[in-house]
């Protein structure tokens, strides 16, 4: 974790509590952390869940790995140090979103267990749910819309998770999604059912 360099700063508390925001939104905020190899289906599933939640009247938002690197993390590359800083920053952003009452979906390769664990430790009890998008590397390569695996195997791209850089599989994720077996829509249903069972959202009445 980074060291705070700023001096003469004071943490300020607002006049609206997280509980009040959640009550108005009729949901319990959470950070759903989707991790998996590149092209495993993380973003597709995250946006499918976001859309389904929005249709039910919930406030949800996706923090997408590629999108974040266009702005907030545009100064970071893919070295181990930069990857760690990338995830550290997103953990802090995710914490703010959860405090705001959002159902937040973070879609990041986040290949290192220590980085994911650091985000978990940052969050409150029950606020972090690790979802492992378990897709074999062979299927990821077949799906790869950007041709990144091919470039990684020919050496055009270095530090590529699963090829020239390690991906550390989560040891005890709260949920495992096997995209070889389920479509994005089916995976979204499973995630929403998990949110219902954990009391983050109310189950729909039949």
Q: pLDDT digits over 40-79, tens only?
A: 999 999 999 999 999 999 999 999 999 999 999 999 999 9
- pTM of the predicted model as reported, rounded to 2 decimal places: 0.94
Select which of 79, 110, 113, 164 is catalytic.
110
167/199 Cα distance (integer angstroms): 32
Per-residue confidence of the chain (206 residues) as pLDDT tens digits?
457 788 888 888 888 999 999 999 999 999 999 999 999 999 999 999 999 999 999 999 999 999 999 999 999 999 999 999 999 999 999 999 999 999 999 999 999 999 999 999 999 999 999 999 999 999 999 998 889 999 999 999 999 999 999 999 999 999 999 998 999 999 999 999 999 999 999 998 76
110 is catalytic: yes
Going by their DSSP bridges, the two strands 175-177 and 60-64 should be labelled as: unpaired
Q: Which fold has domain 29-197?
A: Rossmann fold (3.40.50)
Sheet holding 103-107, edge to edge: 60-64, 103-107, 30-35, 128-133, 175-177
* Element spanning 143, H or E: helix 137-143
């Amino acid at each position: 974790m980074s060291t705070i360099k700023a001096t003469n700063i004071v943490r300020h508390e607002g006049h609206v509590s997280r509980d009040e925001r959640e009550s108005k939104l009729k949901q319990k905020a959470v950070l759903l952390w989707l991790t998996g190899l590149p092209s495993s289906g993380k973003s597709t599933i995250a946006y499918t869940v976001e859309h389904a939640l929005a249709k039910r009247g919930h406030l949800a938002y996706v923090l997408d790995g590629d999108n974040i690197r266009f702005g907030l993390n545009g100064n970071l590359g893919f070295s181990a140090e930069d990857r760690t800083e990338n995830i550290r920053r997103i953990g802090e952003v995710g914490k703010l979103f959860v405090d705001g009452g959002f159902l937040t979906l973070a879609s990041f390769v986040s290949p290192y267990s220590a980085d994911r664990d650091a985000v978990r430790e940052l969050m409150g009890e029950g606020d972090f749910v690790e979802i492992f998008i378990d897709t074999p590397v062979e299927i990821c390569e077949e799906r790869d819309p950007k041709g990144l695996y091919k470039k990684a195997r020919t050496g055009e791209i270095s530090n590529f998770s699963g090829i020239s850089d390690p991906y550390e599989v989560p040891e005890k994720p709260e949920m495992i999604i096997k995209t070889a077996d389920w479509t994005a829509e089916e995976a979204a249903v499973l995630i929403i059912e998990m949110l219902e069972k954990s009391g983050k959202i109310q189950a729909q009445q039949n």
